[in-house]
Amino acid sequence: MMNYMDEYRRWMDSPALSESEWRELDEVGNDENEIKSRFFAPLEFGTAGLRGVMGVGLNRMNRHVVRHVTQAFASVICAQGGEAMRSGVVICYDCRENSEAFAKTAAEVMAANGIPSRVFDSLRPTPELSFAIRRYGAIAGINVTASHNPREYNGYKVYWADGAQLPPKHAQAIADAMAKIDIFTGIRRAAFSQAVEEGLITTIGPETDEAFLENVLAQAIDREAVATVADGFKIVYTPFHGAGYKLVPEALRRLGIKHLLPVLQQMVIDGSFPTVKSPNPEEPAGFRLAVELAEREDCDLIIGTDPDSDRVGIMVRDSAGEFVTVSGNQTGVLLMDYIITARRRAGTLPENAAVIKTIVTTEMAREVAQRNGVHIDDTFTGFKFMAEKVAEYEVSGSYRYIMAYEESYGYMIGDYVRDKDAVTASMLLAEMAAYYRGQGMTLLQALEALYEQYGWFAEKTLNRVMPGIDGLEKMRGLMQRLRETPPAEIGGVKVLRERDYANGKIIVPGLGAVDKTPISGSDVLYFELEDGTAFIIRPSGTEPKIKIYILVSGNDGRDCAERLEKYASYAQTLD
């Protein structure tokens, strides 16, 4: 660990700091814990890039850290040669405070390194960045976003030429370069206006939106189902103050949705997210204003997209007429079944169709796929791994993917993006809800019918937050203890097998390692229990917490709920 006081003093003495930045650091000069928090280590660069609380310091998101990581990224691109440099990068940003400024800062550093940038003229959905990288043949992309994190955060996500998040070898190359480049003296910078004059920074806008929307709308399967119910079918939409505000409503209108009611207070672009505690569609509390509007206007469906519009959550009415959330696992299963059956009806389901999910996503997806003769593959959490699997299919000609999804409200459909895409998913969710309305069913009734057809499954994700400087150590300690002394029972039920995805070993208690997992290299422990339950533990890649996933199956909904409660109680004992 670096000497945080020395690093603090180095920053205080640097002429690179503005007066306001210097003042911010000066104000914490007598607070050693705060200094340690800001300077104990750099923000860690991983395959998802950087993410952290905004502020001045080495362990904060600020313009100096953005310049540092961009200089390192530029060096990796330059090492690819002149053609890669000339291909340039696409830069996108979300609604968060400083996002536009950080995006322009990144463009200045790229320009100074001889790498041209195409910068969006205003905030855009993350999937449109993935699309634009592919459309313009760029070598890479940068997105300034902290996705659904609280308002204090910002982040820097990096993409490669395929439109997917950076592969591990390039991420490691950037991390290595950052370790060698001085954050103040090792940076090349150009003036933004001069770089524009020299053609090293150009702006992209509506023409890219149109090309993206054309691809999105091509994913519609049954427009007639929408037209049939359009006169009485109402949808409430909220972008949570973020990047979905424009393209999601446009996609829904072009699909044929006549009654789209946006939550006006949340259509206002605002990185302080004044109407929600957390701009996360996984949290029902954020939908309060949407529910009020839906109840007032007697609507059928609520759609909410997170600030960078790559995740989408829905709420629907239950049998009592109350709005309830549909989980990411449930939404994914509904959408997957709908895409398979609707494309089969339309005659557009490929014979070699495949779906992709993560290892922590519901096993009901496997049941739906296999019963429909559709291939299914598991990957680690993160759409970069799903994108790699899609690329494998393309190279081998083995399968054609029709959908990829993970339980945390992320869905990818179509060949034009290589990341989760709330614009396309919102459109297909609206189409699916319209189809079932035409059948006299709500989405909850449709889900119930799937349970009757495929069996009862339920899932729960628990987050054990471990913040602060010692949080990482606590997380590592818990994973180490579970590896060294794995539980023989979980919740009173025998552990049959343990999969350690870090080294790929499949371990049977009493026998030791008996087999290898198809994929390895991720810090995940997966316990298979005697009753068919999966109890999975992994550290979050973007937040200071351990994530625990409980995947159960049972005889009915009540049976599943009882099992979830039992295993959730056990999970609370882990520390």
Q: Are residues 424 and 318 in the same domain?
A: yes
Query: In the chain, pLDDT over 90 holds for what percent of residues?
Result: 92
Task: Verify that 449 and 471 share a domain, yes or no.
Answer: no
Per-residue pLDDT at 541 exceeds 80 = no
Structure tokens at 245: 């505000």
**What letter does residue 467 receive in the DSSP assignment?**
-
Task: Judge if 82 and 197 occupy the same domain.
Answer: yes
As a whole number of angstroms, the distance between CA 177 and CA 76 comes to 8
- DSSP category for residue 79: T
User: Strand 234-238 relative to strand 545-554: parallel, antiparallel, unpaired?
Assistant: unpaired
Q: Taking all residues of the chain, what is their mean pLDDT, rounded to a whole number?
A: 96
Per-residue pLDDT, 433: 98
Same domain, 279 and 211: yes
Residues 176 and 212 in one domain: no
217-227 pLDDT, tens digit each = 999 999 999 99
Among the candidates 430, 453, 476, a domain finishes at 453
Helix (H, G, I), strand (E, B) or coil at 306: coil
How many Å apart are CA 402 and CA 253, to the nearest integer?
23
Whole-model pTM over 0.85: yes
Segment (H or E) for 526: strand 525-529
Q: Give the pLDDT score at 480.
A: 93
Structure confidence at residue 470 (pLDDT): 77
Instruction: Give the Cα separation of 35 and 55 in Å (integer).
Output: 12
Query: Which tens digit of pLDDT belongs to each residue from 43-87?
Result: 988 777 999 999 999 999 999 999 999 999 999 999 999 999 999
**How many Å apart are CA 189 and CA 70, to the nearest integer?**
10
Collapse the DSSP code of 61 into the 3-class scheme (helix H, G, I; strand E, B; otherwise coil) and give the result.
strand
What's the rounded mean pLDDT across residues 92-119? 98
Residue matched to tokens 């940003």: 93
Top-confidence residue, 293 or 169: 293
What is d(CA 198, CA 176) in angstroms, rounded to the nearest whole number? 31
42 DSSP 8-state letter: P
* Beta strand segments in 22-79, E: 50-53
d(CA 393, CA 387): 10
One-letter identity of residue 84: A
Question: Do 460 and 449 share a structural domain?
Answer: no
Percentage of the chain beyond pLDDT 70 is 99
- Determine the Cα–Cα distance for residues 216 and 414; give it in Å rounded to an integer: 8
CATH code of the domain in which 540 resides: 3.30.310.50
**How far is 309 from 244, CA to CA, in rounded Å?**
5
Domain termination site, one of 395, 418, 453? 453
Catalytic residues: 147
Q: What is the pLDDT of residues 464-483, one digit of tens each?
A: 888 766 777 888 889 999 99
CATH code of the domain covering residue 70: 3.40.120.10
Do residues 74 and 109 make contact, with C-beta atoms less than 8 angstroms apart? yes
Distance of alpha carbon 284 from alpha carbon 315, whole angstroms: 9
Rounded mean pLDDT of 270-288? Answer: 95
3-class DSSP state of 215: helix
Residues 292, 293, 294, 295, CA torsion sign: positive
Say which residue the tokens 């459109």 belong to.
427
**502 token code pair:** 């870090």
Give, for 73, the enclosing helix (H) or strand (E): helix 63-78
Q: Same domain, yes or no, for 82 and 1?
A: no
Same domain, 74 and 160: yes
Inform me whether the pLDDT recorded for 533 exceeds 90.
Answer: yes
Cβ proximity of 536 and 542 under 8 Å: no
Q: Are 155 and 95 in contact (CB under 8 A)?
A: no
**What average pLDDT does the segment 563-569 reach?**
96
Q: Which of 203, 226, 259 is the last residue of a domain?
A: 203
Residues 109 and 185 in one domain: yes
pLDDT value at 1 more than 60: no
Strand residue runs (E) in 151-300: 153-160, 201-204, 234-238, 259-262
Q: What share of the chain is helix, strand, coil (3-state, %, to 5)?
A: 40, 25, 35
Q: What is the pLDDT of residues 489-502, one digit of tens each?
A: 999 999 999 999 99
- Are 156 and 220 in the same domain? no
Torsion, Cα 176 182 188 193, to 10 degrees, reads 110
Q: Is 194 helix (H, G, I), strand (E, B) or coil?
A: helix
* Beta strand segments in 322-386, E: 323-326, 353-358, 375-379
Q: Are residues 449 and 489 in the same domain?
A: no
Burial class (CB in 10 A: 0-12, 13-18, 19+), 471: middle
For the cut 90, the answer to whether the pLDDT of residue 167 exceeds it is no
Encoded amino acid at 168, one letter? P
User: Residue 13: which domain range?
Assistant: 1-36
The answer to whether the beta carbons of residues 203 and 97 sit under 8 Å apart is no
Please tell me the distance from the alpha carbon of residue 415 to that of residue 397, in angstroms, as a whole number: 14
CB-based contacts of 373: which residues, under 8 Å, 6+ apart?
Answer: none
Mean pLDDT of 374-388: 95
Q: Are 104 and 147 in contact (CB under 8 A)?
A: no
Q: Are residues 405 and 257 in the same domain?
A: yes
Give me the number of domains the chain comprises: 4
542 — pLDDT class (breaks 50, 70, 90): low
